Structure formats: C-alpha cells, structure tokens
Amino acid sequence: MNLAIRGIDGNLGPEHADSFHRDLHKDLKADYILANPSFNSSDWGGERLREDVRWKFGIPPAGNANFAWVQHFIYHLAPSGIAGFVLANGSMSSHQSGEGEIRRNIIEADLVDCMVALPGQLFYSTNGRFRDRRGQTLFIDARKMGVLTDRVHRDLTPEEIARIAGVYHDWRGDAGASQYEDVPGFCKSATLEEIRNNGYVLTPGRYVGAEAVEEDGEPFEEKMQKLTARLGEQFQESALLEAEIRANLKWLGYEV
C-alpha cells in the first residue's frame, strides 16, 4: 500500500502473503531495508514458528513480534547490508520472554550500529550491519526534538532531521563528513563493554547523559545564599497563607 500510494514499483511476490509464515522472498539478501513494523503485535502466530531458521539469536516470544521482525530483517540482509527500522521503546530494555537474551546476542554479534530515541506523537499508527566503527554503537536522544503539527501529532523539522543524519554520518566517517564528537544529552558513541555494563539495555538516554549547562560565572556559595534566602521568604509566605486558611475554616466551624 505504501509503495502504491507513492507510485513506486516493487516486487512484492505473485500474491498477497504473510511475511512470517509465507515469506515469498526466502532467498532475498538486501543491501538496504527500511521498515516500520507494527509495534508489539501479539497475534503474529509465533507459536507455529518455534524452529524457524531466521531465529539465529533466539526464539522470539509468541506474544510479541518485535524481535521476530528484527531477526527477519537481519536474516534478509546482504553481508554488507544496512537495515533501518522503528521499534517500540520497550524493546530496547525488555527482559520478558527471552527478549533480553535475544538483544544481548544481537549486540554481542556487533550488529547494532545506531539507536535513535524519537519524540512521542511522531507516528500515526534504527540499526545497521556493516561499518568501520566495529565494537561501538552510536546513541542519539532526539526525544526533545520536533514540533506539534496539531494537538496529537509531531513532526521533525528538516533542520532536526539534518542534524540527526549529520551526526550519524560524522560518526561513521562518511565522505565529506565532519569530525564526530559526543554531545552530552544528545549523542554518545558507546563501546560494547559499556553496553554490557548497562545490562544490554539500548535506551539512548542511558548513555548520552545530561545536557551540558552553561556556567553563569556566579560563585556557588553566593548562588546558594540567594537561593536559600528566597526559599526562606517562600516558607514565611506559606506559613501566613496556612494561618489564613485555618482561620477561615475555624470561622466556618471547622477545626484543622
């Protein structure tokens, strides 16, 4: 349907079929895979595929297709292929029904190229396989990006997309790219050892840290004196308000 809407021709096979149970492209090894599979699908029929050849990194749970999709994509990649896909946030840290073990095996195989945490309200209803930075994964936290197009939907601006893509190309060292640098609160190049130490969790926020805050030049002691003085004033104001509320309640016949 997506191809038809955009006027793109594609070989979808001779008939409609189920990607998991009737794969019409069993021998396909793709250079590029781009996908937005349905999140957390519980009725994908996984109980009928316990011995499937695609589950190289572990049998996905019958009640959630997330890691079935991931392994389906990996299976169909060419040796130097790259896959980019969207998954539910929970799949980055879940340990239910063996998902943590599958994620650990994929990470240990050095297949995770880059993880991008996207802002909410972005969708109406990203991972690679070959690179120069072996043993490392780029984490990008873009949750604060995007602008609301209406009350329930958000879009990334062209500038924001360019920034995310630019950081990725810089990290990979692609032709014409700039020197990559970690940016606190936004991007971090983590080693496999760091990911191991974090229990194989792939949530970008775990790695990028907090955004750097500019120093205003005011000494810490002076700043604390001002803050505590202001807090004392607020406590006094709170006490006056409390006394006034108690008096009003007493006048109404209620003791507090």
DSSP 43-85: -S-GGG-TT-TT-TT-PPPTT--HHHHHHHHHHTEEEEEEEEE
Q: Between 3.40.50.150, 3.40.50.410, 3.20.20.210, 1.20.58.100, what CATH number should domain 2-208 receive?
A: 3.40.50.150
pLDDT at residue 132 in the model: 59
CB contact at 8 A, 245 and 238: no
Q: In sequence order, which residues have a C-beta less than 8 Å from that of residue 96 and are 6 or more positions away?
A: 61, 64
Per-residue pLDDT of the chain (256 residues; tens, 9 = 90+): 778 888 988 888 888 888 899 999 999 999 999 998 988 999 999 999 999 999 999 999 999 999 999 999 999 999 999 999 999 889 999 998 999 999 999 999 999 999 999 888 776 654 444 455 889 999 999 999 999 999 888 999 999 999 999 999 999 888 777 899 999 999 999 999 999 999 999 999 999 998 876 666 778 788 888 889 999 999 999 999 999 898 888 888 888 8
- The DSSP call for residue 89 is G
Question: Which residue in 79, 64, 5, 2 sits closest to 34, CA to CA?
Answer: 2
Question: Which residue in 20, 118, 159, 33 sits closest to 84, CA to CA?
Answer: 33
The domain segmentation of the chain, as residue ranges, is: 2-208, 214-256
pLDDT at residue 127 in the model: 46
pLDDT at residue 250 in the model: 86
CB contact at 8 A, 192 and 110: yes
